[in-house]
Amino acid sequence: MTLTIGRIPYINCYPVYGAIDRGLITIDADLVDGVPTALNALMAGGKLDVSVVSAVEYARDSRRYLLLPDLAISCDGPVRSVMLFSKRPATELSQRRVLVSRSSMTSVALLELLFENVWHARPVFVPTDAEISDVARFGAEDHEARLVIGDAALLLESSSAPSGRGVDKASQAVPQYRHAYDLGAEWKRWTGLPFVFAVWVAQRNVAVDAALAAHAGLIASRDWGIANVPTLAKRAAEATGVAVNACEEYLEGLDYGLSYPHLAGLTEFYRRLVERGSVPNGTLTFLPAA
């Protein structure tokens, strides 16, 4: 049975698909590229068999999906590719326009939680594009802050000078923004837990043997990727324009497993979303082991 498997084209997925792309690991599947929200929609519509999806997509309809064990995109501190760039401190953004990504449900949900519980501000969220390669376009809209995700966020983050929390970090890369917030770091500071941005899931109606074979191939490819980060970092630098050493540091800072601490962070995120009525209450259900 040939499956359809979703893949996010950002470089943060390179460690999971790198060996598959190079023909080192073979899976009986057709790969479909898409930003997180596009893959979410394809999975929700039953048009993909297995895919990486936003963590929020699993919580939104957990009865439809089975989680693939030990496979996720997470961080335990700074993530570097999910950033809020702001012209003023986040605590001063009440009633001010904040542009948020249409491409990632999880990043927007996390941002909303941070504004409510950490920064205690109530901005006006305006959906817009997340991936902008032309920095000059960042000032085109009337807004006070912008959520940027993926490779574009990494490019801007790596261009910024190191600094203290949130202050002046964005000034070199994007002069109109005086503040930058790494959402992974903010979650860690708030809860003390890792944050899971994306998970891999299978449709519950997919044949178990086929799903297990796909899972085994993804895990094998992931293991190769983790062992070959320098090779992947060179390819990532070519794709993004970010320095090789910055790409390597970024990929090494991500975690592609789903350990107990990561599950604790994921369930805490889900608990808070359920509490505010953003997703229905549900359970974590995994693809059964072979």
User: Quick one: pLDDT at residue 59?
Assistant: 97
Beta-carbon-side half-sphere exposure of residue 152 (alpha carbons within 13 Å): 20
Residue reference for tokens 């996010």:
8
Q: What is the dihedral of CA 8, 11, 12, 17, to 10 degrees?
A: 70
The residues near 181 (Cβ < 8 Å, ≥ 6 apart) are: 83, 84, 86, 90, 114, 166
Position 9, amino acid: P
State how far the alpha carbon of 185 is from the alpha carbons of 4, 93, 111, 234, 266, in Å. Answer: 34, 19, 12, 26, 15
**What architecture is the 3-74+196-275 domain classified under in CATH?**
3-Layer(aba) Sandwich (3.40)
User: Quick one: pLDDT at residue 158?
Assistant: 73
Q: Look at the domain 82-191 and name its fold.
A: D-Maltodextrin-Binding Protein; domain 2 (3.40.190)
**Can you give the pTM of this predicted structure?**
0.91
Sign of the four-CA dihedral 24, 52, 39, 252:
negative
Torsions phi, psi of 6, nearest 5?
-85, 145
51, 6 Cβ separation under 8 angstroms: yes
- Domains of the chain, residue spans: 3-74+196-275, 82-191
Q: Examine domains 3-74+196-275 and 82-191 and report if their fold is the same.
A: yes
Tell me how far apart the alpha carbons of residues 131 and 24 are, in angstroms, rounded to a whole number: 30
Classify strands 50-54 and 29-33 as parallel, antiparallel or unpaired: unpaired
User: Quick one: pLDDT at residue 135?
Assistant: 45
pLDDT by residue for the chain (290 residues), tens only, comes to 789 999 999 999 999 999 999 999 999 999 999 988 899 999 999 999 999 999 999 999 999 999 999 999 999 999 999 999 999 999 999 999 999 988 889 999 999 999 999 999 999 999 986 555 444 455 556 899 999 998 888 888 776 544 434 444 544 556 678 999 999 999 999 999 999 999 999 999 999 999 999 999 999 999 999 999 999 999 999 999 999 999 999 999 999 999 999 999 999 999 999 999 999 999 999 998 65
